[in-house]
């Protein structure tokens, strides 16, 4: 028997149950019911398999935290794509109230209070009421708590300005599974800053090649997570989701998909350059069409055709920021940029010896699975009590384990023993030189006292770079996207020191970091500083974050020659031995 089946990931199911829990709590439902939804959500998020597969086996109730009531709801979602209970609930309790819960220290009780007493149903209304000083006279509230709410809303505005690339990417992929399957859709591609792989994304741009856009537009605006439809049309619709993400869907017929994709990918400044170029060729380039002066259109199915019509080779999306790429294309001097397949080493990862989840052997197998040839195990140093770090005495035992694993692996993968050694607040390193000297590779990183004054924090990094045993500076600025700025570093001084000592600077591929960023990476590479791209993996799936780092490198115009993880073994070992220190 075959029947229709709707797709939901575990995270999407969990979001629904979390929302139900919160809405019930605002409604004033008894606590055990609320907790049941929360528990199911939590369990789904950490469950190792897709709930949909378990459902097909008829074993939903085998998932921890999933009892009969929840299993029935999951079943309803998979078979109908909807959940009547949820729809009814949303009818009773406005879903916009969930936005209120994102304000720090604002729980369901207060959300219920604002809703019942003032009729507030979303964040915008809450902000208006707070600014009009209407909250302070409510029971349990006061001037202070009102001011706190205003500050909390402002923090959200700052935060929700841009979405970190990692989140945007994951969410796009979830949407794409649904939108790509709408009948009639020939192609679906990300566009905008997401396709250019900017470290943060303002809104998602999604482009569909489809002759009749009605079905896909309907699917888009009725997606279960949509909380607001901002605009709606045949070629473009725009919505906001309950996770704060805004997205635009552009639909164009396949015969002009290339023109549309080129336009929607941007950046705006790149497009302006192309338009100038088009004019020089007696053409006009717009959102909809590439046309000759007589008005006749040049249909471009692919982007390559657009660029060819303008007399230049296709330019990779990551480069389209008007940073000289059009000029380089015109003079045929665009180099071949590093790509995922070029990377054959991971030089920064953690095992169970510190805070990683996999043993050294498991990490090695995971690396082999991904085609890597060299893997450096770089657990945290724990000399001065960094949580979970290795003590000096542990290093010998770890070396023995690495040797044993190496013997098992044979020539499939070369393991290096390294350390991610902490740069302490006073600028010294967490391990003494005689310990560092025995390691195959040393990463020095800042994790604490990032807010020191510029001179002091810069000097810490420069000291580390000048240490004869340090090979790499991990995530150099220490930024965390989207909120935590990096240390106030004098990057020129850092780059100069790195260039003088041939110390590598890392592009940390974790999308919460992407540090160095594209602009710094480009400058560093121009100064002949070897760049490395590492995932800093703490688990197997972290290794799959590599592409974010590679895209950042491409945005920084890096060629394989500039990226150490793409070097041949001999060049790499020569560099490791650059100071003539034999390990």
Report the interface residues with Ca ion, using CB under 5 A: 192-193, 202-203, 205
Report if residue 440 touches Zn ion, rule: CB under 5 A: no
Tokens of residue 98, six digits: 């969930």
Rounded to 5°, the CA angle 176-188-80 comes to: 40
Report if residue 189 touches Zn ion, rule: CB under 5 A: no
Q: Which is nearer to Ca ion, 226 or 392 (CB)?
A: 226
- How many residues touch ligand DGT under the rule CB under 6 A: the total is 14
List the single partner that 308 binds among Zn ion, ligand DGT, Ca ion, none, CB under 5 to 8 Å by kind: none
Report if residue 346 touches Zn ion, rule: CB under 5 A: no
Q: Which is nearer to ligand DGT, 263 or 495 (CB)?
A: 263
List the single partner that 15 binds among Ca ion, ligand DGT, Zn ion, none, CB under 5 to 8 Å by kind: none
Tokens of residue 220, six digits: 């888009």
Site string for ligand DGT, 239-268 (x = CB under 6 A): ------------------------xx-xxx
Residues 6+ apart with CB under 8 A from 11: 44, 45, 174
Report if residue 536 touches Zn ion, rule: CB under 5 A: yes
Q: Which stretch binds Zn ion (CB under 5 A): 59-67, 289-297, 400-408, 533-541?
A: 533-541
Report if residue 365 touches Zn ion, rule: CB under 5 A: no
Site string for ligand DGT, 420-459 (x = CB under 6 A): ----------------------------------------
Tokens of residue 22, six digits: 């919160």
Instruction: Scan for tokens 């000097």, then name that residue.
Output: 459
Looking only at the bridges linking them, the beta strands covering 246-252 and 204-209 are parallel
List the single partner that 268 binds among Ca ion, ligand DGT, Zn ion, none, CB under 5 to 8 Å by kind: ligand DGT
Q: How far is CA 199 from CA 237, 514, 530, 542, in A?
A: 24, 7, 22, 17
Cα(505)–Cα(450) distance, rounded to whole angstroms? 18
Neighbours of 193 (CB within 10 A): 24
Site string for Zn ion, 409-428 (x = CB under 5 A): -----------x--------
Q: Which is nearer to ligand DGT, 203 or 517 (CB)?
A: 203
Q: Is residue 207 within 8 Å of residue 217, measured between CB atoms? A: no
Q: Is residue 532 within 8 Å of residue 565, measured between CB atoms? A: yes
Site string for Zn ion, 480-519 (x = CB under 5 A): ----------------------------------------
The torsion of the CA quartet 258, 261, 264, 265, rounded to 10 degrees, works out to -110
- How does DSSP assign 110-173, residue by residue? HHHHHHHHH---SHHHHHHHHHTT-STTSTT--HHHHHHHHHHHHHHHHHHTSEEHHHHHHHHH
Neighbours of 165 (CB within 10 A): 24
Q: Which stretch binds Zn ion (CB under 5 A): 86-94, 408-416, 528-536, 561-569?
A: 528-536
By CB atoms closer than 10 A (0-12, 13-18, 19+), residue 372 is buried
Site string for ligand DGT, 152-191 (x = CB under 6 A): ----------------------------------------
Report if residue 202 touches ligand DGT, rule: CB under 6 A: yes
List the single partner that 420 binds among ligand DGT, Ca ion, Zn ion, none, CB under 5 to 8 Å by kind: Zn ion
Binding site for Zn ion (CB under 5 A): 420, 536
Binding site for ligand DGT (CB under 6 A): 192-193, 198, 201-203, 205, 263-264, 266-268, 271-272
């Amino acid at each position: 028997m075959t029947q229709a089946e709707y797709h939901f990931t575990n995270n999407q199911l969990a979001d629904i149950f979390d929302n139900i829990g919160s809405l019930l709590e605002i409604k004033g439902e008894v606590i055990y019911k609320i907790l049941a939804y929360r528990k199911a959500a939590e369990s789904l998020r950490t469950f190792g398999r897709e709930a949909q597969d378990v459902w097909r086996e008829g074993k939903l109730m085998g998932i921890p935290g999933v009892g009969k009531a929840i299993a029935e709801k999951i079943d309803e979602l998979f078979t109908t794509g909807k959940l009547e209970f949820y729809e009814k609930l949303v009818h009773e309790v406005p879903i916009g109230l969930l936005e209120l819960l994102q304000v720090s220290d604002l729980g369901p009780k207060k959300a219920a209070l604002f809703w019942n007493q003032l009729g507030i149903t979303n964040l915008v209304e809450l902000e208006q009421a707070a600014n009009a000083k209407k909250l302070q006279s409510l029971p349990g509230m006061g001037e202070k708590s009102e001011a706190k709410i205003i500050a909390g809303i402002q923090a959200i505005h700052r935060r929700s300005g841009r979405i970190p690339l990692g989140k945007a990417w994951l969410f796009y992929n979830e949407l794409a599974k649904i939108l790509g399957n709408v009948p009639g859709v020939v192609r679906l591609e990300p566009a905008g800053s997401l396709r250019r792989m900017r470290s943060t994304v303002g809104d998602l741009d999604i482009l569909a090649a489809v002759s009749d856009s009605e079905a896909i537009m309907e699917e888009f605006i009725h997606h279960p997570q949509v909380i607001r439809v901002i605009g709606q049309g045949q070629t473009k619709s725009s919505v906001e989701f309950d996770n704060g993400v805004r997205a635009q869907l552009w639909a164009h017929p396949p015969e002009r998909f290339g023109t549309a994709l080129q336009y929607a990918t941007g950046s705006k400044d790149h497009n302006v350059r192309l338009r100038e170029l088009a004019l020089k060729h007696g053409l006009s380039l717009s959102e909809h069409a590439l046309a000759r002066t007589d008005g006749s259109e040049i249909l471009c199915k692919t982007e390559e055709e657009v660029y060819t019509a303008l007399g230049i080779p296709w330019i990779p999306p990551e480069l389209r920021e008007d940073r000289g790429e059009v000029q380089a294309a015109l003079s045929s001097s665009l180099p071949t940029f590093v790509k995922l397949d070029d990377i054959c080493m991971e030089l920064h990862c953690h095992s169970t010896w510190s805070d990683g989840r996999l043993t050294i052997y498991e990490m090695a197998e995971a690396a082999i699975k991904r085609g890597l040839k060299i893997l450096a195990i770089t657990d945290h140093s724990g000399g001065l009590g960094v949580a979970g770090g290795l003590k000096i005495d542990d290093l010998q035992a770890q070396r023995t384990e690495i040797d044993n694993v190496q013997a098992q692996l044979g020539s499939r993968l070369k393991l290096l023993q390294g350390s991610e050694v902490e740069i302490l607040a006073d600028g010294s390193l967490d391990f003494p030189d005689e310990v560092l000297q025995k390691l195959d590779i040393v990463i020095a990183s800042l994790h604490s006292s990032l807010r020191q004054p510029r001179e002091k924090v810069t000097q810490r990094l420069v000291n580390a770079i000048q240490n004869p045993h340090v090979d790499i500076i991990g995530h150099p600025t220490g930024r965390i996207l989207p909120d935590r700025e990096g240390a106030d570093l004098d990057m020129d001084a850092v780059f100069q020191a790195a260039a003088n000592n041939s110390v590598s600077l890392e592009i940390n591929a974790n999308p919460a970091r992407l540090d160095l960023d594209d602009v710094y990476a480009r400058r560093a590479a121009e100064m002949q500083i070897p760049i490395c791209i590492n995932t800093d993996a703490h688990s197997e799936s972290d290794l799959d974050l590599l592409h974010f780092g590679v895209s950042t490198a491409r945005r920084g115009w890096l060629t394989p020659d500039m990226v150490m993880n793409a070097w041949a073994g001999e060049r790499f070992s020569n560099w490791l031995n650059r100071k003539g220190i034999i390990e």
